[in-house]
Chains A and B, each alone.
Chain A
Amino acid sequence: MATEITLEVARYRPGVDSEPVMQSYQVPLREHWAILDGLTYVKDHLDGTLSFRWSCRMGICGSCGMTVNGEPQLSCATFLTDYAPGPIRVEPLHNFPVIRDLVVDIDDFMTKLPKVKPWIVREVQSPVEEGEYLQTPEEMDEYQQFSMCINCMLCYSACPVYSLEPHFLGPAAIALAQRYNLDSRDEGADERRDVLSSPEGIWACTFVGECSAVCPKGVDPAGAIQRYKLTAATQSIKELLMPRSLSSRRKG
């Protein structure tokens, strides 16, 4: 096996480059090295000006999402040997403005996320002395899959709807809303409904399904969105047929 592999890295230096240019680096091809290890080698030994985000190096923090050979990947969980003999093309995540090199601006997501209230909403908070809000394993199963999201933005990078329609709330934000909607301890589904059911919410999604295909945590945001479409449609029909019962329920 070769001892080195070529990383072709997109460089964008604001004020210097008008668009990203590719720069090649030779890095050691080691069995347990991920793309992130290769980039760290570049930063430490070859070119200290290369910029990229990382933190945990173990697929938990969601910081190191990049486009590797055209696919959105966590660079800490994507191994050099899988791409041997190379070269490996490393670019920033698509669909986001590039701040510098491999660093993208995710402010849009950070603005949208709180709109779906991704926390447990209670009409009346129980005092701490009353203890925990209990939940059975079956109740936890309802939402656990959606709680695995690490906000890595791979789903936004793979979503053509988000690319064409930047107002779209997006896969992760909706999956996280469903994570709380399906939680037996939560009472905030009605408060999330207006945002989720808006044209920028679930109805913008055309079910391409790539968000789920690229998710490194098996969250299935596409499934979450389609499930909520069914819920929203059912609720609208119920409201149409039985306006009184539903309006009183929404208040109560």
Chain B
Amino acid sequence: MSVYQRPIHLFWWLERRAYVLFVLRELSSVFVAWFVVFLLLLVNAISDGAASYQRFLDWSGQWWVVAINVVAMLFVLLHVVTWFGLAPRAMAIKVRGSRVPARQIVAAHYLAWLVLSGAVAWLVLR
């Protein structure tokens, strides 16, 4: 029996809006990794003393590093928002026999994000 197999073209992910968003979400992982590297470089610079820290600040202030970080931040926000939005689909939490509504699970994620960000800000700025 000769059957027809539809070929998969290189830009299959442009076929549907959901596919584009999915590919962007997957791509955002690269920028999450970049922020981890950037943080490690920062910690390393601080541990090497004031001069090293100043050099890191000067390097970070260059237009192209700022541009990379702005793009990275947008991708990380996309990463966070899309994953938080998907969280209730994976988490079937029950409290006193009834399932916790999806909106509450999403809200709890944002609240945890806010609390953690606040804690880090307090640690850094105090």
Contacts and interface: CB of A to CB of B under 8 A. Distances in A.
A24 B26 CA distance: 40
Contacts of A226: 86, 89-90
B110 interface: no
A57 B97 CA distance: 39
A181 to B, nearest CB: 12
Contact of B6 (A94, A206, A222, A229): A94
Interface in B95-121: 97
Contacts of A163: 8, 12
B34 interface: no
A99 B86 contact: no
Contacts, number: 61
Interface size of B as a range: 20 to 34
A38 B79 CA distance: 43
A230 B90 CA distance: 7
Interface stretch (A12-20, A114-122, A167-175): A12-20
B18 interface: yes
A209 B86 contact: yes
B51 interface: no
A210 interface: yes
Contacts of A97: 3-5
Contact of A229 (B15, B26, B90, B97): B90
Interface residues of A, number: 31
A124 interface: no
A208 B22 contact: yes
Interface string A198-239: 000000001111101100000010110011011000000000
A223 B89 CA distance: 5
A229 B3 CA distance: 35
A98 B3 contact: yes
Contact of A208 (B5, B19, B90): B19
A210 B86 CA distance: 12
Interface of B: 1-6, 8, 12-13, 15-16, 18-19, 22, 26, 86, 89-92, 97
